[in-house]
Amino acid sequence: MAESVRRLLGKPGAVDLRPYTKLLPAIEAEEEGLRELSDGELTEKAIDLGYAELPYSQNDLVSLCAVGREAARRTLDERPFDVQLLGVMALLDGHVAEMATGEGKTLAGTLAAAGFALRGKRVHVLSVNDYLARRDAEWMGPLYAMLGVTVGSVSEESTVDERKQAYGCDVTYAAVSELGFDVLRDRMVTDVDDRVVPEPHVAIIDEADSVLVDEARVPLVLAGAAEAVAADVEMADVVRGLKPRLHYEVDGEGRNVQLTDAGIDAVEKALGGVDLYSEDDTSVLPQVNLALHAHVLLQRDVHYVVRDGEVRLINESRGRIALLQRWPDGLQAAVEAKEKVAVSQTGEVLDSITVQSLVLRYPTLAGMTGTAMSVAEQLREFYELEVAVVPSNKPNVREDHGALLYATREEKEDALVAKVEEIHKTGRPILIGTQDVAESELLAERLRAAGLESVVLNAKNDADEASIIAEAGTYGAITVSTQMAGRGTDIRLGGSDMTDRDRVVETGGLFVMGFGRYPSSRLDGQLRGRAGRQGDPGDSIFFVSMDDDLLVNHAPETTGYKTTADGEITDEGWLAMVDHAQRVSEGQLLEVHRNTWRYNKLIDVQREVVLEHRELVLSSGQGDRHVAADRRERHEELVEELDADEVARAAKLITLYHLDRGWTDHNAFLSELREGIHLRYLGRRDPLDEFNREAVPVFKGFLDGARARAAESFEELEVVDGELDVSSVGVKRPSMTWTYMVHDHPFSSALETLVGRLKGGRGTSNGD
Ligand SMILES: Nc1ncnc2c1ncn2[C@@H]1O[C@H](COP(=O)(O)OP(=O)(O)OP(=O)(O)O)[C@@H](O)[C@H]1O
């Protein structure tokens, strides 16, 4: 079989592309006939496809692709390649289309979105950030218009009216987080008209692996105003004076830290002779532990950066600043105290939703990414999604070299610098991927010392991301980047305007070097994928050392190897160990994901019950009916004195208040339960069973409790100036709300587990 044909058939284990491939000739034939049509006629043809329901018949699918292709050619001057159409068809069937970097996912996603929209579905195209949401909606606007489909986008700055308008379009582009926050805010409204997000139909997720796997466990949180916690500057000062090993010990993986006896004495003395383990005052020890955690385990420029006087977390999966993310309040304040910056606002969690629950609201899901196959199992397990591996338009000629392994970090660095020197001489552009911000800066310095100037792209300057990355393919450029590596922005050989393309192609194209392998092979693949776009030449290689975190934490053996004079380990067995360590790390990440999901399932079920009930109160007068039944006399009296509508209004507000209040409290209870249970059952019973055993009965009385409290409040309502004054019975909405993402999911991560343990009291090893 010819290679070109085989490439179009698909990969084993993935969706069979043959049914799509066989439609390609028909699409091309139909397309020819469309050339004669006027723009208006082409739009009509598109709209005519809306005559039936989904799914598309084969004939209609052919028409859709032909019309879409012709419209793209006219509006964007880009005629979708066959492989892009395979992507479109896979998306329309609700799959994750794996398409390599630079293959034009944006355009494929657009034709699929239009396809769904033409058949009456509302489509949300979810991007990883506001910038991409806005860019794609604007870029693809003319194409949508020609297909008779309306499009809008939502960003952090959008007003309520702008949001309503954008969500009112057939296709809406939004960052996942922004959509999540809108969903959360909608859950708190007291008037149906204040809601902005319509009922979910279809979501097409860009960078699907990042969103559905890496970020799946990140909860988006809606918080309401409360008092700020006092910054514990004193604690930060006390722990600053402690010495490693003497006063505290860090466990093997750098995930837990614990005071030694000498440390306990030192802290007690520094705090003026308190007893950290006093039964009477248990509030001091958790504070000390939080300060210690902030001081020892969270490193500036690795876990966070300080910018504009604020502590900003670095999103580990993407290496960029996570604008809205923060640690759970106590820890956030402790880090802020450590860095001596103002303590940010804290509040009560009103509600939260994980990215996973957010996207599972959609009856139809589809996604696109450059790296999906390696998480195919997770996509199937958590989302019932299959991966369609769409071949590249031109064969990939990038050369991916095996890893080079060194004994120490210094030797690895020397080897990388030598390689950069050698390659740079030829004018070949080089992109170096690092694990974190601190490393990218050190490496850039090291290169400078060797006379090699580089541009650094990391979480500290992510505003310039698009322009820096766009120039990474320029002749002679050396770019050092953390994992963010400008996903979504093309690296064109010869610079963004490609003027110098031929000269750069001559040199061999972009050379990608990884400074250490990432915790998952998928992240390695993303870095490699920056080179070799659209059949470009390119190379990729990774430099690894035995003291890289990946090996230290996950390799079964780290001693006993032989090295060459420059510290290289060439033995196959040791090289295989690197892959092994990465697989162990991947397994751990999966376990964490699975665990979080199991916990959230129960919470989601309970939340659904509350939301269903809330809906009845909000839109069908359930609150009024209940108080009328529970407090008949008072209800009749008030209806007579005022009027039925006014009474119903107050009953609704009171009922919603008690439901929301109850849910906020229940949420707090569940978080405490999770933390506590993990402590109590560490290593003994399945904590999930225990969690369910305790959480289920507590919820049983939830709705009745809220109803009873609403009835009580109703009884006590006062009439002020001819109106029912709900504030007289304490009914208040939060005076302000704000949103953020928790960096790591409660309970699922070592970090949060630790916070749980800290709250629980003493050390980590005995768990009491
Ligand atoms: N059919 C086409 N013909 C010509 N150019 C195209 C075509 N499709 C896409 N392009 C161009 O290819 C470039 C890459 O497209 P796009 O940004 O959508 O890629 P991507 O697959 O999303 O890559 P990344 O993984 O970097 O996000 C864009 O400049 C786009 O204009």
Number of neighbouring beta carbons within 10 Å of residue 495? 19
667, 188 Cβ separation under 8 angstroms: no
Average pLDDT over residues 529-542: 92
pLDDT in tens, 663-681: 988 887 887 777 666 555 5
Lowest mean per-residue pLDDT among 107-111, 204-208, 474-478, 584-588: 584-588
Q: Is residue 224 part of a domain?
A: no
| Banded pLDDT at 239 (limits 50, 70, 90) | confident
Sheet-wide strand order for 151-154 = 151-154, 171-175, 123-127, 202-206, 364-369, 96-98, 387-389
CA of 537 to the centre of ligand 1 (A): 17
Which atom of ligand 1 is nearest the CA belonging to 370?
Answer: 25
273, 285 Cβ separation under 8 angstroms: no
Given a cut of 80, whether residue 284 has pLDDT beyond it is no
Q: Which residues pair with 478 in a beta bridge?
A: 430
274, 735 Cβ separation under 8 angstroms: no
pTM for this prediction: 0.79
Question: What CATH number has the domain bearing residue 325?
Answer: 3.90.1440.10
What local confidence, expressed as pLDDT, does residue 109 receive? 98
Q: Is residue 290 part of a domain?
A: yes
| Tokens linked to 239 | 């722990």
597, 356 Cβ separation under 8 angstroms: yes
706, 655 Cβ separation under 8 angstroms: yes
Run of H or E residues at 405: strand 404-406
Average pLDDT over residues 487-492: 73
What local confidence, expressed as pLDDT, does residue 744 receive? 40
733 or 81: which carries more pLDDT confidence? 81
92 and 166 co-located in one domain: yes
State how far the Cα of 18 lies from the Cα of 622, in Å rounded to an integer. Answer: 53
Q: Is residue 740 part of a domain?
A: no
322 and 185 co-located in one domain: no
State how far the Cα of 623 lies from the Cα of 707, in Å rounded to an integer. Answer: 8
| Banded pLDDT at 340 (limits 50, 70, 90) | confident
* Closest CA to ligand 1's atom 9: 104
pLDDT in tens, 182-222: 999 999 899 999 999 999 999 999 999 988 988 887 777 77
Using H for helix, E for strand and C for coil, what is the string for 77-128?
A: CCCCCHHHHHHHHHHHCCCEEECCCCCCHHHHHHHHHHHHHHCCCCEEEEEC
Q: Is residue 641 part of a domain?
A: yes
698 and 656 co-located in one domain: yes
310, 344 Cβ separation under 8 angstroms: yes
Residue 104 annotated as lining a ligand binding site: yes
Residue 103 annotated as lining a ligand binding site: yes
261 and 374 co-located in one domain: no
Write down the ipTM of this complex.
0.98
546 and 641 co-located in one domain: no
Give the torsion sign (CA, 259, 261, 266, 269).
positive
What local confidence, expressed as pLDDT, does residue 741 receive? 61
* Closest CA to ligand 1's atom 3: 78
- Which range among 226-235, 445-454, 469-478, 491-500 has the greatest average pLDDT? 445-454
- Most informative mutation of 27, 28, 76, 78 for ligand 1 (most atoms within 8 A of CB): 78
702 and 601 co-located in one domain: yes
Given a cut of 50, whether residue 746 has pLDDT beyond it is no
What local confidence, expressed as pLDDT, does residue 278 receive? 74
CA of 124 to the centre of ligand 1 (A): 20
Given a cut of 60, whether residue 4 has pLDDT beyond it is no
407 and 545 co-located in one domain: yes
pLDDT in tens, 218-235: 777 777 754 444 546 778
Q: Which residues pair with 259 in a beta bridge?
A: 248
Q: Is residue 713 part of a domain?
A: yes
* Closest CA to ligand 1's atom 12: 104
State how far the Cα of 386 lies from the Cα of 381, in Å rounded to an integer. Answer: 10
551 and 661 co-located in one domain: no
Q: Is residue 507 part of a domain?
A: yes
* Closest CA to ligand 1's atom 16: 104
699 or 457: which carries more pLDDT confidence? 699
- CA-angle at 208, arms to 381 and 320, nearest 5°: 125
Given a cut of 70, whether residue 693 has pLDDT beyond it is yes
CA of 108 to the centre of ligand 1 (A): 9
Domain boundary among the residues 570, 599, 631 is at: 570
Question: What CATH number has the domain bearing residue 527?
Answer: 3.40.50.300
What local confidence, expressed as pLDDT, does residue 329 receive? 56
What local confidence, expressed as pLDDT, does residue 386 receive? 96
Q: What is the number of domains present in the chain? A: 4
What local confidence, expressed as pLDDT, does residue 151 receive? 98
- Most informative mutation of 74, 107, 132 for ligand 1 (most atoms within 8 A of CB): 107
Residue 106 annotated as lining a ligand binding site: yes
192, 359 Cβ separation under 8 angstroms: no
What local confidence, expressed as pLDDT, does residue 761 receive? 28
Given a cut of 80, whether residue 466 has pLDDT beyond it is no
CA of 728 to the centre of ligand 1 (A): 59
Nearest Cα to Cα of residue 499 among 480, 477, 473: 473
pLDDT in tens, 305-315: 787 777 777 65
Sheet-wide strand order for 347-354 = 325-326, 737-742, 219-225, 347-354
CA of 490 to the centre of ligand 1 (A): 8
400, 263 Cβ separation under 8 angstroms: no
211 and 293 co-located in one domain: no
What local confidence, expressed as pLDDT, does residue 8 receive? 54
State how far the Cα of 12 lies from the Cα of 179, in Å rounded to an integer. Answer: 35
338 and 360 co-located in one domain: no
Percent of the chain scoring above 70 in pLDDT = 85
Supply φ then ψ for residue 267, to 5 degrees.
-70, -45
Residue 84 annotated as lining a ligand binding site: yes
Q: What is the mean pLDDT of the chain?
A: 85
Which atom of ligand 1 is nearest the CA belonging to 103?
Answer: 21
What local confidence, expressed as pLDDT, does residue 1 receive? 47
CA of 748 to the centre of ligand 1 (A): 37
**Residues with beta carbon inside 6 Å of ligand 1?**
78-81, 84, 99, 101-107, 370, 487-488, 490
Average pLDDT over residues 355-382: 92
Asked whether the bond before 328 is cis by omega within 30 degrees of 0, the reply is: no
| Banded pLDDT at 745 (limits 50, 70, 90) | very low
210 and 286 co-located in one domain: no
| Banded pLDDT at 83 (limits 50, 70, 90) | very high
Domain that holds residue 434: 399-570
Q: Is residue 146 part of a domain?
A: yes
Question: What CATH number has the domain bearing residue 705?
Answer: 1.10.3060.10
Number of neighbouring beta carbons within 10 Å of residue 709? 18
365 and 503 co-located in one domain: no
Q: Is residue 760 part of a domain?
A: no
Tell me the angle at which helices 105-118 and 130-146 cross, rounded to the nearest 10 degrees.
60
CA of 521 to the centre of ligand 1 (A): 24
- Most informative mutation of 105, 138, 140 for ligand 1 (most atoms within 8 A of CB): 105
Number of neighbouring beta carbons within 10 Å of residue 24? 17
Residue 54 CA neighbour count, 13 Å, CB half: 20
What local confidence, expressed as pLDDT, does residue 708 receive? 94
Average pLDDT over residues 641-662: 92
- Most informative mutation of 31, 81, 465, 490 for ligand 1 (most atoms within 8 A of CB): 490
CA of 136 to the centre of ligand 1 (A): 11
State how far the Cα of 478 lies from the Cα of 474, in Å rounded to an integer. Answer: 9
| Tokens linked to 290 | 């939080």
- Note the residue count of the chain: 768
State how far the Cα of 454 lies from the Cα of 443, in Å rounded to an integer. Answer: 9
* Closest CA to ligand 1's atom 29: 490
Nearest Cα to Cα of residue 692 among 556, 621, 630, 600: 600
